[in-house]
Every structure is written in structure tokens, then in C-alpha cells.
């Protein structure tokens, strides 16, 4: 839950993705903590899927950094005209991290949520569900801030071919796993009878995603969403850094 708050206010989009990564690791720790065969399968599947779509998002931001020299949300915007392919791949990564049906996040993250519900841990399930909704901010904010927000006046070339090829491979993997989850499930530690594309699961996830999208649009349109500011956010590392400086002198 803690890193999600920084996802909302962080200006550096690569730092934002790092906070999102910590949040996703929290999902995996929950799966390990439950310890059932289903939750451990969910943890393994989520770890694999997460590596793919988070790498895709990092690569897209790396391409932006390579071309314009910054990934600060306060300095970006309107790059979809200059970098259409990078924009497309970033959107695929964003859709995947939001666990939209037909993409990898949907068929992996849901296993952990299902395992939590199966054990009757409803408070934890509710916390994970709420964080999943808030986490959609990563899927919304990263492409919006870098490619679709206010016109920053930046104009550049599309990412180099080798970068586009790497992003295309990751994007294809995100979609392929989402369409054919049984291929991923075959390599999980334990056999399981889990089907991601049930009506209940699809409708519940669509409701979560579209509610997060609606909230994002409403907040943006009414000027209530935190504005990207060129500032440094202090995290818990400030405590031990200050202690080291005061006690050890460096």
C-alpha cells in the first residue's frame, strides 16, 4: 500500500515505475505468506508476467529519455506525434499492468486474489483489491504524462530500431500470455484448476479498471489530480541517510 502513494505524486516516471514495482512485489509476498499451492502458483505467474510488462514500461521510458533527455512528467507531454510506436508499446505495458482482460497481468495477478479469497482472508483481499484499483494509476499516468498530456513543445525522432524491436518482443509476450494462459500455467510449481476467463472474473476486473479510468478522467478534468511538480519526494531512506550523516559523518 505504501508505494502506491508515491505512484500518485512522483514526478520522475522511472522512479514512479520503481515504486509500482515495490507494490507488485508486495502482492508476491502476500502470495508467499498465504503459502497454499494456489497462492504460490499465483506468485510465480505474477512474477513472470510482471517482469515482462514492467520491463516494457521501463524500456518505453528509456526510449523517451534517450530521445528527449528527461522522463520528468512536468517536462513531458504530446510525444505521441513524434514517437507513435513507443506510445503504442507503452500503452500495451500499461494495459497489462492494469490487469485488463486478454493481457498478461489479468491471467497472473488474479490467481493471488482468488487464493486470498479462497482462504477467507477478506480484509487482505479488500486491501489488495483497493490497491489494484489505485495501481491502475501507473497504467494511466505513465502514458498520459509522457505522451498525451499538455503539449510540451518537444519534437524528436522515433526510438531507434533496436529499442523498438525489444519493446515489440515484450509487448507480444504480454499479449500472447494473456491470450494463451495455459502455456504459462503449465510451467507453474503445482497443477491447478483455475480458469481466468470466467464471467465473474472478467466483469469484476472490467469494473475495477473502468472505475479507475473514470476516477482518473474526472480528477484530471476538474483539476483535482496532483499536478506533476519538479520536486524531490522524501522517502523512508531519508531517515537512515540522515542518521548516517549525523552519526558517522557521511
Q: Are 68 and 76 in contact (CB under 8 A)?
A: yes
pLDDT of residue 188: 96
Cβ neighbour number for residue 193 with a 10 Å cutoff: 5
Global pTM value:
0.91
pLDDT value of position 114: 93
pLDDT in tens, 166-190: 999 999 999 999 999 999 999 999 9
- Tell me the pLDDT tens digit for each residue of 182-222: 999 999 999 998 999 999 999 989 998 888 888 888 888 88
Task: List all residues 6 or more positions away from 194 whose beta carbon is below 8 Å from its beta carbon.
Answer: 38, 41, 111, 114, 185
Please give the backbone phi and psi of residue 69, each rounded to the nearest 5 degrees, phi first: 85, 10
144 DSSP 8-state letter: I
- pLDDT, tens only, 21-42: 998 999 999 999 999 999 999 9
Calculate mean pLDDT across residues 108-125: 93
Query: Average per-residue pLDDT in the chain?
Result: 90
Does the pLDDT at position 250 exceed 80? Answer: no
Q: What is the CA radius of gyration of the chain?
A: 19
Q: Per-residue pLDDT averaged across 73-96, rounded?
A: 94
pLDDT of residue 21: 93
* Residue in 131, 85, 90 with CA at minimum distance from that of residue 109: 131
pLDDT of residue 3: 86
Window from 73-77, 131-135, 213-217 with minimum mean pLDDT? 131-135
- Which range has highest mean pLDDT (139-153, 169-183, 233-247)? 169-183
Tell me: pLDDT of 135 over 70.
no
136 has a pLDDT exceeding 80: no
pLDDT digits (tens, 9 = 90+) for 85-115: 999 999 999 999 989 999 999 999 999 999 9
22/28 Cα distance (integer angstroms):
10
Amino acid at each position: 500500500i505504501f508505494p502506491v502513494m508515491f505512484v500518485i505524486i512522483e514526478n520522475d516516471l522511472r522512479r514512479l515505475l520503481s515504486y509500482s514495482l515495490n507494490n507488485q512485489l508486495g502482492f508476491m509476498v502476500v502470495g508467499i505468506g498465504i503459502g497454499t499451492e494456489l497462492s504460490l502458483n499465483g506468485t510465480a505467474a505474477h512474477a513472470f508476467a510482471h517482469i515482462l510488462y514492467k520491463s516494457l514500461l521501463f524500456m518505453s521510458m528509456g526510449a523517451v529519455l534517450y530521445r528527449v533527455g528527461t522522463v520528468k512528467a512536468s517536462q513531458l507531454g504530446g510525444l505521441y506525434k513524434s514517437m507513435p510506436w513507443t506510445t503504442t508499446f507503452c500503452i500495451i505495458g500499461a494495459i497489462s499492468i492494469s490487469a485488463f482482460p486478454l493481457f498478461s497481468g489479468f491471467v497472473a495477478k488474479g490467481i493471488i486474489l482468488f487464493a486470498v479469497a479462497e482462504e477467507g482472508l477478506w480484509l487482505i483481499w479488500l486491501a489488495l483489491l483497493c490497491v489494484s484499483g489505485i495501481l491502475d494509476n501507473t497504467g494511466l499516468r505513465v502514458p498520459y504524462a509522457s505522451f498525451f498530456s499538455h503539449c510540451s513543445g518537444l519534437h524528436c525522432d522515433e526510438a531507434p530500431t533496436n529499442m523498438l524491436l525489444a519493446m515489440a518482443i515484450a509487448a507480444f509476450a504480454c499479449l500472447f500470455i494473456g491470450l494463451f494462459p495455459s502455456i504459462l500455467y503449465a510451467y507453474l510449481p503445482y497443477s491447478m484448476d483455475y480458469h481466468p476467463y470466467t464471467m465473474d472474473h472478467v466483469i469484476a476486473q472490467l469494473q475495477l479498471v473502468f472505475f479507475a479510468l473514470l476516477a482518473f478522467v474526472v480528477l484530471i478534468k476538474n483539476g483535482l489530480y496532483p499536478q506533476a511538480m519538479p520536486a524531490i519526494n522524501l522517502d523512508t531512506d531519508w531517515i537512515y541517510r540522515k542518521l548516517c550523516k549525523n552519526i558517522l559523518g557521511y
